[in-house]
């Protein structure tokens, strides 16, 4: 497609969308806006934007597509700004915010009838344009709240074809309920777990070193942008308060079970959680990205890591992360190698099977 695209907010999401747009529509002009000049500079250096503009007032009138990819309370300010500006008749305005109810209500109040709400359900705890990548949204759900703008939603999907995401339409209220449960609430809990651990750091100096394994994994999302999560939780306050109230009851029930040493029900607590989790679909991306990990049971000798990574490099298989599981006390270690895609993990498995006799596991 041809046309002028403005991306406001050149961060992880705005930057990644910019790359996808350029790949699918090389003839489109991408103009970037960001309050931080360093972010604009980096987006230019990385070739994500063609030009920059100081603000929407100066640039919006030429735009065919405007993407607001800022923290959600900033997005509200930008919507207010847009109402006063001259715009093309067929312009499409969309956002990428993690909440939809307040944004959709505001767009309606402001009479912005070219607005199609959007939320790509993929991302990371990393922020900023430096972390942007074209495959971020591949196979991920991309939720749309078009309201009455069905036709504009179809054109928006064409613009966003390069994301290779799976578009799903929903209502703002259902959106905020669902993302509250599977994304926003887990973020609150992850940050709360970290804050709890921090309280004991003084009296237990070994704690942070012990926390390097599983604890680090389940609290990864607590390293996300505090500004972004402040805005999300303040927007989705009602759903989150309900969820936290329910959680309080669940925790009180758990305290009761432990006090009573109720073996059967404590087992049931873990059993039902395991069953639901094990039944969740894998291999598709969601708010919690799938990690394509391969466990390699390697002998503990010098050079074993470079041997394994060397085989992968020979076959040109990219890895995204590598670490050693330190939970075992015997002389062996387990190397955990993460890959960007399922295909890469399968190729790595075949590659290592042909070069070594190390045991390989897929978790």
Ligand X SMILES: NC(=O)C1=CN([C@@H]2O[C@H](COP(=O)(O)OP(=O)(O)OC[C@H]3O[C@@H](n4cnc5c(N)ncnc54)[C@H](O)[C@@H]3O)[C@@H](O)[C@H]2O)C=CC1
| Interface with ligand ENO (CB under 6 A) | 98, 121-125, 183, 221, 287-289
167 forms beta bridges with 142
As to burial, measured by CB atoms within 10 angstroms (0-12 exposed, 13-18 middle, 19+ buried), residue 43 is buried
The residue from 4, 52, 59, 98 that contacts ligand X (CB under 6 A) is 98
221, interface contact from ligand X, ligand ENO, none, CB < 5-8 Å by kind: ligand ENO
Residue 288's binding partner, choosing from ligand ENO, ligand X, none, with beta-carbon cut-off 5 to 8 A by kind?
ligand ENO
Region from 57-65, 69-77, 150-158, 339-347 binding ligand X, contact rule CB under 6 A: 69-77
The Cα 308–Cα 357 span in angstroms is: 11
In the complex with ligand ENO, the residue whose CB is nearer, 156 or 228, is 228
223 binds ligand X (CB under 6 A): no
* By the rule CB under 6 A, 123 interacts with ligand X: yes
Distance of CA 259 to the CA centre of its chain: 38
What sign has the CA pseudo-torsion 38, 39, 42, 43?
A: negative
Question: Which of the ranges 83-91, 94-102, 236-244, 247-255 carries the binding residues for ligand X, by CB under 6 A?
Answer: 94-102
Sole window of 116-124, 193-201, 207-215, 277-285 interacting with ligand X (rule: CB under 6 A): 116-124
Name every residue whose Cβ is closer than 8 Å to that of residue 9 and which is 6 or more positions away in sequence.
33, 34, 68, 69, 70, 71, 74, 96
Starting at the edge strand found earlier in the chain, the sheet holding 359-361 runs: 321-325, 333-339, 292-298, 359-361
Nearer to ligand X, 35 or 113 (CB): 35
Instruction: List, in sequence order, the alpha helices (H) in 110-211.
Output: 150-159, 172-179, 185-199, 207-210
To ligand ENO, the closest distance from the beta carbon of 287 in angstroms equals 4
Q: Which two tokens stand for residue 38?
A: 């360093």
Measure the CA–CA gap between 78 and 97, rounded to whole angstroms. 12
143 with 165: CB under 8 angstroms? no
Annotate each residue in 269-308 with x if it binds ligand X (CB under 6 A) or - if it does not, as one string: ----------------------------------------
* Binding of ligand X by 232 (CB under 6 A): yes
What is residue 36's DSSP assignment? Answer: S
Half-sphere exposure of 89 (CA within 13 A, CB side): 0
- Contact positions with ligand X (CB under 6 A) in 18-47: 33-36, 39
* Alpha-carbon gap, residue 58 to 271, rounded angstroms: 58
Stretch that binds ligand X, among 2-10, 102-110, 170-178, 330-338 (CB under 6 A): 2-10
Selected binder of ligand X within 18, 32, 71, 172 (CB under 6 A): 71
Tell me how far apart the alpha carbons of residues 283 and 290 are, in angstroms, rounded to a whole number: 6
124 binds ligand X (CB under 6 A): yes
Residue nearest to ligand ENO (CB): 98
Q: Which does 12 bind (CB under 5 to 8 A by kind): ligand X, ligand ENO, none?
A: ligand X
> Contact between 180 and ligand X (CB under 6 A)?
no
The backbone region for 131, taken as left when phi is positive above 0, alpha when psi lies in -120 to 50, beta otherwise, is alpha
Question: What is the contact surface with ligand X in residues (CB under 6 A)?
Answer: 8-14, 33-36, 39, 69-72, 74, 96-98, 119-120, 123-124, 127-128, 225, 228, 232
């Amino acid at each position: 497609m041809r046309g002028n695209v403005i991306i406001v907010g050149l961060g992880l999401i705005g930057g990644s969308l910019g790359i996808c747009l350029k790949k699918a529509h090389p003839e489109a002009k991408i103009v970037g806006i960001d309050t931080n000049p360093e972010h604009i500079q980096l987006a230019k250096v990385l070739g994500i934007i063609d030009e920059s503009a100081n603000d929407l007032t100066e640039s919006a009138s030429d735009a065919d597509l405007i993407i607001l990819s800022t923290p959600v309370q900033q997005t509200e300010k930008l919507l207010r700004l847009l109402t006063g500006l001259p715009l093309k008749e067929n312009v499409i305005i969309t956002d990428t915010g993690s909440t939809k109810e307040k944004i959709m209500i505001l767009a309606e109040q402001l009479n912005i009838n070219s607005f199609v709400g959007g939320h790509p359900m993929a991302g990371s705890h990393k922020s900023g344009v430096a972390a942007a990548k074209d495959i971020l949204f591949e196979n991920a759900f991309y939720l749309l709240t078009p309201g009455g703008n069905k036709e504009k939603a179809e054109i928006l999907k064409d613009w966003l074809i390069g994301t290779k995401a799976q578009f799903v339409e929903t209502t703002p209220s259902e959106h905020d309920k669902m993302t509250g449960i599977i994304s926003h609430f887990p973020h609150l809990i992850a940050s709360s777990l970290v804050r709890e651990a921090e309280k004991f750091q003084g009296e237990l100096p070994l704690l942070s070193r012990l926390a390097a394994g599983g604890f680090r994994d389940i609290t990864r999302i607590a390293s996300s942008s505090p500004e972004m999560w402040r805005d999300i939780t303040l927007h989705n306050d009602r759903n989150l308060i309900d969820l936290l109230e329910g959680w309080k009851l669940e925790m009180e029930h758990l305290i009761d079970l432990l006090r009573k040493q109720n073996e059967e029900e404590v087992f049931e607590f873990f059993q039902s959680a395991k069953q639901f989790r094990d039944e969740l679909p894998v291999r598709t991306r969601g708010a919690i990205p799938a990690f394509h990990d391969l466990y390699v049971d390697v002998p503990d000798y010098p050079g074993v890591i470079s041997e394994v990574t060397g085989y992968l490099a020979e076959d040109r298989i990219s890895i995204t992360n590598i670490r050693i599981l330190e939970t075992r006390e015997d002389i062996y270690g387990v190397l955990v190698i993460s890959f960007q895609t399922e295909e890469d993990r399968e190729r790595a498995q075949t590659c290592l099977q042909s070069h070594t006799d190390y045991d390989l596991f897929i978790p």
